[in-house]
């Protein structure tokens, strides 16, 4: 089996695509990516110009936090758009003919646990409080809730895909 290029794996990860990227998926990914880029670039450019003008009249620290907030909101909106389009076009659906459910479930759980460890570590490191057991417990609980929620949603999608395969063939 041919090893996937790093950029292909990155595209699959960002867009939430499983299986092989065929011509249809690639053209839709390009269209979605171009639309997302145009929106992101336009909002970033306008916010930069507004911040440059406002910097003459307002405290730069306030401008910084406003600019940071606008950029975070911009990224959130862009990722929501990408997620909606991928779901609407069915690009993220599991390929029912090629999927090995046990292997996919193990890989999914491994990714979720890794995400949970990263999230928990991030919550622990970025918390403004002093080092304490309370902070550690809070980070661990947040990580467990995060992993549980994401795992349930991902396993539900995998199970739904399996059910549709059984219904189609059975």
Q: Per residue in 2-61, pLDDT tens?
A: 677 888 888 887 887 877 888 998 999 999 999 999 999 999 999 999 999 999 999 989
Listed in sequence order, the DSSP H helices in the chain are 6-15, 23-54, 60-89, 101-126, 133-169
Using one digit for the tens of pLDDT, what is the confidence trace for 119-161?
888 877 777 777 778 888 888 888 888 888 888 887 887 777 7
143 Cα distance to chain centroid: 16
pLDDT confidence tier of residue 164, bands split at 50, 70 and 90: low
The verdict on 14 and 55 lying in the same domain is yes
Q: What is the DSSP letter of 15?
A: H
Other CB atoms within 10 Å distance of the CB of residue 36: 17
**Total structural domains within the chain:** 2
Residues 75 and 113 in one domain: no
Domain that holds residue 162: 96-170
- What pLDDT does residue 165 have? 58
Q: Do 79 and 122 reside in the same domain of the chain? A: no
How far apart (Å, rounded) are the C-alpha atoms in residues 7 and 20? 13
Residues 4 and 84 in one domain: yes
pLDDT at 168 over 80: no
**pLDDT tens for residues 74-118?**
999 999 899 889 888 888 776 555 567 777 778 788 888 888 888
The answer to whether residues 63 and 133 belong to one domain is no
């Amino acid at each position: 089996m041919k090893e996937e290029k790093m950029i292909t794996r990155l595209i699959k990860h960002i867009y939430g695509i499983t299986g092989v990227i065929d011509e249809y998926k690639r053209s839709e990914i390009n269209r979605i990516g171009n639309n997302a880029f145009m929106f992101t670039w336009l909002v970033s450019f306008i916010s930069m110009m507004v911040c440059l003008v406002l910097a003459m009249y307002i405290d730069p620290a306030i401008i910084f936090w406003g600019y940071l907030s606008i950029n975070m909101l911009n990224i959130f909106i862009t990722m929501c758009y990408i997620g909606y389009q991928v779901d609407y076009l069915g690009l993220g659906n599991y390929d029912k003919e090629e999927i090995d459910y046990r292997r996919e479930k193990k890989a999914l759980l491994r990714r979720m646990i890794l995400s949970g460890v990263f999230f928990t570590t991030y919550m622990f490191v970025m918390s403004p409080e002093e080092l304490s057991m309370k902070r550690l417990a809070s980070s661990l609980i947040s990580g467990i809730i995060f992993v549980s929620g994401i795992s349930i949603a991902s396993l539900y999608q995998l199970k739904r895909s399996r059910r549709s395969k059984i219904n189609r063939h059975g």
